[in-house]
Amino acid sequence: MHPLATILNSSSVVTDPDGMAPYLSDWRGLAKGTAQAVVKPQTTEDVARVLQWASQTGTPVVPQGGNTGLSGGATPDRSGRAIVLSLERLNRILSIDPVGNTLVAQAGCILANVQQAAADVGRLFPVSLGSEGSCQIGGILATNAGGINVIRYGMTRDLVLGLEYVTAAGEIVRGPRKLHKNNTGYDLRHLLIGSEGSLAVITAAALKIVQPPPARISALAAVGTPDAALSLLRLIRETVGENILAFELMCGNEMNLVRARFPSQRYPFADNHPWYVFVEIGGERDEVVSERTEAALSHALDKSIVTDAVLATSEAQSKEIWHLRFAVSEANRLAGPTVSHDVSVATQDVPTLIANVSRRIADFPEALPLLVGHIGDGNIHVNILLPHQILTDQKNFRAISRQVNDMIYDIVGELDGSISAEHGIGRFKREAFSHRADPVELRLMTAIKHSFDPAGILNPGVMLSASQSLRP
């Protein structure tokens, strides 16, 4: 029997291979590991007991939420020494306050359930992701998840008021406090958010909820260049103010791929276009929002910023438009071997980023850039589709992937951008991060890691490399 089975109870500790399997690889199957046990505590006190045991025995602990991450940050290594700490049974919504606009949820709550609980009292929890049906609050906090509505509501961190957490040594810091304002000491909340389980284990959070916009409308616009997309952004912003809920760019190659893979999906234009912009706008009244959006798009057509545009006049049309955007992940997965990047630059630098990628990708014959992303936030997902036959030689694939990565990261570096806008570092980008981060900041981060986790038991090898994350 695993020693934790006596500390917690036997139903909280899984050691049989079949029971452990779903927790030992990420959902895409790109990260694979092994573990001595998967532990599923039911209370914050249980989490504390697990961490006390782990720190006493020097056992690596890999916190895991819905296991929907894209950076391999919730998968143990192959040593078999680690335990996976699943928060899935801490899944209660503890309180909702529609006056102070707060919602307190345990770490294991599924995002969609939190969204629903907010909706049940007429509020919106505005983090929205493709994986919202299975990702958990603890996971979106640990990775500071982004999504489609960041342009209006910010990243996950911008919606967090307070945390409850357990330190590496197993001490509980009680909470979470529902304070909109609190200037007492260093902001440990923001330090833990985005730390990928490497500093402490978050067990609950007080979240901001908001009043949803009474009216919302979607549109799809065709533009000639990324520059024109930014001109459209400016024009719409000057018409509708801070009511842009989403503003997404997609390249023609990506649209062609989506249409080829999903031929039954309605495409609203007669012609193909080099670039597309997906817009969602909120407002006070349907007629005002649609009138303003129409005015902005007409203006953009008159000024030749936009070459064609459709405004969704019904919920069904709106869904049709967004289906084209949301089909991207699946279309790319089916298309073949891709090297994917989640980069950001200053918004005004996006056209340069794209021009540089388009130019330098010529070094890779038959590679096809598929560009899609949150241009309103300066965040572009640069997916490079490689020819199918490259998969016949895994070694060659890895070598080319590495070259593509270096090229993209070089371009981002020249523009002072970020190599991970919203997906985090995890295991997959750790090496690139350690080479490309400011060395002073890397040293400060390593010192913080040592302060919070002197024994190096919390998610070792994630974000910071083992040599950085262990005391010298």
Which positions from 450 through 469 interact with a second copy, judged by CB under 8 A?
450-452, 463-464
Residue 351 interacts with a second copy (CB under 8 A): yes or no: no
Query: What residues are paired with 13 via a beta bridge?
Result: 39
Q: Footprint of a second copy on residues 32-91 (CB under 8 A)?
A: none
Q: Footprint of a second copy on residues 266-285 (CB under 8 A)?
A: 283-285
- Which of 36, 55, 143, 469 binds a second copy (CB under 8 A)? It is 143
- Binding part of the chain for a second copy, among 268-276, 312-320, 352-360, 439-447 by CB under 8 A, reads 439-447
Looking at residue 314, the DSSP 8-state letter turns out to be: S
- Binding part of the chain for a second copy, among 12-20, 181-189, 246-254, 401-409 by CB under 8 A, reads 181-189
- Tell me how far apart the alpha carbons of residues 354 and 205 are, in angstroms, rounded to a whole number: 38
Both tokens of 423, joined, read: 């997906």
- Tell me how far apart the alpha carbons of residues 208 and 165 are, in angstroms, rounded to a whole number: 18
- Tell me how far apart the alpha carbons of residues 283 and 288 are, in angstroms, rounded to a whole number: 8
Residue 207 interacts with a second copy (CB under 8 A): yes or no: no
- Which of 64, 195, 293, 356 binds a second copy (CB under 8 A)? It is 195
For a second copy, give the closer residue by CB, 6 or 348. Answer: 348
Q: Residues 204, 444, 446, CA angle at the centre, nearest 5°?
A: 70
- Which of 346, 391, 399, 466 binds a second copy (CB under 8 A)? It is 346
Q: Buried (b) or exposed (e) across 196-208, using 16+ Cβ within 10 A?
A: bbbbbbbbbbbbb
CB of 409: closest distance to a second copy in angstroms?
11
Q: Residues 91, 28, 470, CA angle at the centre, nearest 5°?
A: 75
Residue 471 interacts with a second copy (CB under 8 A): yes or no: no
For a second copy, give the closer residue by CB, 38 or 50. Answer: 50
- Which of 178, 261, 299, 360 binds a second copy (CB under 8 A)? It is 178
- Which of 81, 94, 154, 355 binds a second copy (CB under 8 A)? It is 154
Phi/psi of residue 400, each to 5°? -70, -40
HSE-up (13 A, CA, CB side) for residue 412: 25
- Which of 112, 361, 367, 437 binds a second copy (CB under 8 A)? It is 437
Residue 293 interacts with a second copy (CB under 8 A): yes or no: no
Site string (88-107) toward a second copy, x via CB under 8 A: ---------xxxxxx-----
Both tokens of 405, joined, read: 């990565």
In three-state secondary structure terms, 335 is: helix
Residue 288 interacts with a second copy (CB under 8 A): yes or no: yes
For a second copy, give the closer residue by CB, 361 or 442. Answer: 442
Residue 181 interacts with a second copy (CB under 8 A): yes or no: yes
447-452-109-248 Cα dihedral, nearest 10 degrees: -10
Query: Taking the CB of residue 227, how many other CB atoms lie within 10 A of it?
Result: 17
- Which of 93, 258, 419, 458 binds a second copy (CB under 8 A)? It is 419
For a second copy, give the closer residue by CB, 23 or 153. Answer: 153
From first CA to last CA, the distance across the chain in angstroms is 35
Residue 421 interacts with a second copy (CB under 8 A): yes or no: yes
Q: Footprint of a second copy on residues 213-252 (CB under 8 A)?
A: 213-214, 230, 233-234, 237-238, 240-243
Nearest CA to 257 out of 370, 366, 367 is that of 370
Looking at residue 210, the DSSP 8-state letter turns out to be: B
- Tell me how far apart the alpha carbons of residues 411 and 222 are, in angstroms, rounded to a whole number: 26
For a second copy, give the closer residue by CB, 334 or 447. Answer: 447
For a second copy, give the closer residue by CB, 81 or 299. Answer: 299
- Tell me how far apart the alpha carbons of residues 402 and 163 are, in angstroms, rounded to a whole number: 38
- Binding part of the chain for a second copy, among 47-55, 245-253, 401-409, 411-419 by CB under 8 A, reads 411-419
Residue 111 interacts with a second copy (CB under 8 A): yes or no: no
- Tell me how far apart the alpha carbons of residues 148 and 448 are, in angstroms, rounded to a whole number: 31
- Binding part of the chain for a second copy, among 59-67, 206-214, 303-311, 383-391 by CB under 8 A, reads 206-214
- Tell me how far apart the alpha carbons of residues 351 and 225 are, in angstroms, rounded to a whole number: 8
- Which of 45, 418, 465, 470 binds a second copy (CB under 8 A)? It is 418
Spell out where 111-189 has E strands: 160-167, 172-173
The letter for the amino acid at 3 is P
- Tell me how far apart the alpha carbons of residues 126 and 81 are, in angstroms, rounded to a whole number: 38
- Binding part of the chain for a second copy, among 12-20, 51-59, 111-119, 371-379 by CB under 8 A, reads 371-379
- Binding part of the chain for a second copy, among 61-69, 80-88, 154-162, 264-272 by CB under 8 A, reads 154-162
